[in-house]
Structure 1
Amino acid sequence: MTMDSAALRQALAGHLAAGGALRTQPWRQAIEAVPRHEFLHGGFFERSAPDAWRPVLADTDGWLERCYADESLVTQIAGTIVPGDIRGEILREPTSSSTLPSLVVRMLEDLRVEDGDRVLEIGTGTGYSTGLLCHRLGDDRVTSVEVDPEVSRRAGAGLGACGYFPELVVGDGLAGHKDGAPYDRLVATCGVLELPHPWVEQTKPGGTILATLCGWMHASELARLTVGDNGVAHGRLLGGQVSFMLARPQSPPPPGMLPDLTAGEERAARLGADVLDDWATRFVAQLAAPRVQRLSLTLADTTQHVLVDVEAGAWAVLSLDGEQWTVRQGGPAQLWDQIEEHLLRWRADGSPPLDRFEIIVTPEGQRITWPKV
């Protein structure tokens, strides 16, 4: 039997509560009230192969039920392509999605909003999380910034269909929206390499910023910070692996033509590339090299693990010879030296878990540290 959307919303709320993401009654009421499918009338993409996507349109059997599954639903490919544009499959990278509801509600709970708070959301996306904020606080208390005009337009249509009319801004979310500042809370639904100081400037002293900190090796963590009276924000990572698309201005450049990997200097590596298979280790490595991309090449039955900073022109390639890892590095910086040093220092301090890492954001930039254990 097909369930109607109200029953599906109630079932979703029950699932999210049972899983621990949904913890308080006001957000449960929002989940039960805001119809996610209104933000997905244009359909979504499902993965049909490791690098391929096919459209699922609103007239497809099971579309409504999929809208209320706890899964992320890709809504745009390659910056412009939506499900209605495609017949068959497309082999390009996703650029916008409706985040899985358990992560959306976890972030809203972790934001710790109170009645009367004014919230700035960075990354409108489909508008579903914006709608939840509108239901909880009132749409006159919500401002949402989206870099893509068409994505913002579609979100506005979905919000209007639900009776919500928040302030929607088209622009670079990394700059925030100073015309509406200061805000009590700021939440980012995209990943950032470094938390922008304008977000700190636009949040009231005592206010909260919730954002996902990422790197180009694809390990990311949710961070919550409190803004002080002096324009400095302090906080911690919250733990638990999260994943968001990076803010578009911070997306990695195409690797392009790789440098001559036989050049540079070679040495025995103290750590092998396999350490980066661990999420926490990879996140710590990114702190030393946030703009490094990780690639694998197979040449003559040998796998080479390549790290490259395209903008800096620095690179490292690691390979395993028997039981010994070797590294060859070139360019203006010794990438693997930087990463090894950072990881070995973390290990010497007892490999503290990520939820014990502390963050400070000042006008000069961001610093992340860990305690000894």
Structure 2
Amino acid sequence: MSRDWADAFAAVPREVFLPDLMWPYDMDTGASRSVDRRTDPVAWERAAYANVPITTQWDDGQHTGPGPGRVPTSSASMPSVVTRMLADLDVRPGARVLEIGTGTGRNAGLLAERLGERSVVTVEVDERVAARARAALGSLGLYPEVVCADGRWGHPAGAPYDRVIVTAGVRGFPPAWLAQTRPGGVILAPWGTHYSHEDALVRLTVAEDGSASGPFLRPLEFMKIRAQRLDWRRFAGHVGAYPGDAAASVTSVPLAELGEGRPFRGARFVLGLCVPECAQVLNTGEGEATLWFFDMTEGSRAWASVRFRDGEREATVHQWGPRRLWDEVARALAWWRERGRPGVDGFGLTVTPEGGCRPWCGGPGEPVPSFGGGG
């Protein structure tokens, strides 16, 4: 960490931005637990300075606790993630920064302390979250512009920006972000596909023609931007009588090869790049697990399932509908193997001014193949 950022971190402590009741994530158990400063201040302070993400809101504010809710919808990121993202932003005094996703407000506070509050605009969709962030920032004498709005539209009144930093997982790039970034400016965002929850941090440089391109830096995972969340209810009518008249086959591909149980190793992220408009979910039971794939194409009800049983070398595959989703996934996996299983940092993304995303491997001139629809 540079001396400039070290001073900012010292002046903008994490604890100021955390509520009395919060839910730190246990990295060992994979679960969130509640900690209340009013009843256990020692545990609260210990959690506040631990290198773990902390949920500060569940279920878009409809849940108040004391236990965890269903879906985490606002949080304080891991301190190590915050530090590395700010370093990746490569921002200098004099630059204007737009942040999408205010959350607790700490990231905006760090930027304001480093660059000056007039150089920072932060956008938050949730009015209550935005109000708490303003109050926390004000308690430190920091007053960057906190805008309560849908972050997909950016904040045109403050454009152009030298840097845009997004602190929520995105599944598509709103054209407004590109239009509001000056040529040569940088957009830093966690991006991924609906194939899985996994994101990868991409650093895009905006070109004169309004497009942007750049490499993925590393895997991570953020809460998804609200307007781009996947609603699993859309697949409720996909599967009727199971397996019905679905085509049956077998596969020797092990579950671990598909990235299940081994998150952030690249498999699920890369399969999402190569198999468009596909969502997958793993259901587990005693002695078996079933990996489901659903076609997200409008009007399609295609699906596939792969059932793995403990102690069996082959898994049973069923596929139904105009797309053979498992065949597409298997072909994408074979392509990745043939390339030597490059990590996330071997890939990149080009975004058109209209928001179209074209992933590549090795360089912008080497587009990732699409195996969707038999392609």
TM superposition score category, shorter chain reference = 0.7 to 0.9
Deviations 1:236-292 (A, max 9, x none): 0112x3121111111121346461330321223364443222430111011124650
Offset of residue 344 of structure 1: 1.6
Cα separation, 2, equivalents of 1:33 and 1:65:
19
2:277 is the counterpart of 1:320: no
2:123 is the counterpart of 1:126: no
Q: What's the TM-score, normalizing by structure 1?
A: 0.85
Which amino acid in 1 is paired with 2:249?
A: R
Contact in 1 for aligned 2:23/2:68 (Cα 8 Å): no
**Within 5 Å, which residues of 2 pair with 1:139-178?**
139-178=117-156
Offset of residue 50 of structure 1: 6.1
Q: Percent identity?
A: 37
Cα separation, 2, equivalents of 1:81 and 1:157:
21
Offset of residue 58 of structure 1: 4.7
Cα separation, 2, equivalents of 1:290 and 1:193:
11
Offset of residue 53 of structure 1: 4.2
2:276 is the counterpart of 1:298: no
Q: 1:350 aligns with which of 337, 340, 346?
A: 340
Task: Sort the Cα spacing of 1:192 and 1:318 in 2 relative to 1 into closer, same or farther, 3 A.
Answer: same
2:116 is the counterpart of 1:116: no
Which amino acid in 2 is paired with 1:38?
A: V
Q: Unpaired runs of 5+ in structure 1? A: 1-22
Task: Sort the Cα spacing of 1:58 and 1:313 in 2 relative to 1 into closer, same or farther, 3 A.
Answer: farther
Contact in 2 for aligned 1:190/1:246 (Cα 8 Å): yes
**Within 5 Å, which residues of 2 pair with 1:1-373?**
23-46=1-24, 53-58=33-38, 60-62=40-42, 63-81=44-62, 85-87=64-66, 89-216=67-194, 217-239=196-218, 241-255=219-233, 257=236, 259-260=239-240, 261-263=242-244, 264-269=246-251, 271-277=253-259, 278=262, 279-287=265-273, 288-289=275-276, 291-298=278-285, 301-309=287-295, 312-320=300-308, 322-364=312-354, 365-371=356-362
Contact in 1 for aligned 2:161/2:182 (Cα 8 Å): yes
- SS of match in other structure, 2:340: coil
Contact in 1 for aligned 2:21/2:34 (Cα 8 Å): no
Cα separation, 2, equivalents of 1:290 and 1:60:
46
Q: Unpaired runs of 5+ in structure 2? A: 367-375
- Once the two structures are overlaid, the 10-residue window that deviates more, 206-215 or 133-142, is 206-215
Cα separation, 2, equivalents of 1:350 and 1:209:
29
Deviations 1:156-200 (A, max 9, x none): 111111111111111221222222211000000001112333211
Cα separation, 2, equivalents of 1:73 and 1:206:
34
Task: Sort the Cα spacing of 1:351 and 1:26 in 2 relative to 1 into closer, same or farther, 3 A.
Answer: same
- SS of match in other structure, 2:122: strand
- How many correspondences in the alignment? 346
Cα separation, 2, equivalents of 1:93 and 1:282:
22
Contact in 2 for aligned 1:289/1:339 (Cα 8 Å): no
Task: Sort the Cα spacing of 1:340 and 1:95 in 2 relative to 1 into closer, same or farther, 3 A.
Answer: same
Cα separation, 2, equivalents of 1:90 and 1:66:
15
Which amino acid in 2 is paired with 1:109?
A: A
- SS of match in other structure, 1:337: helix
The aligned residue for residue 9 of structure 1 is none
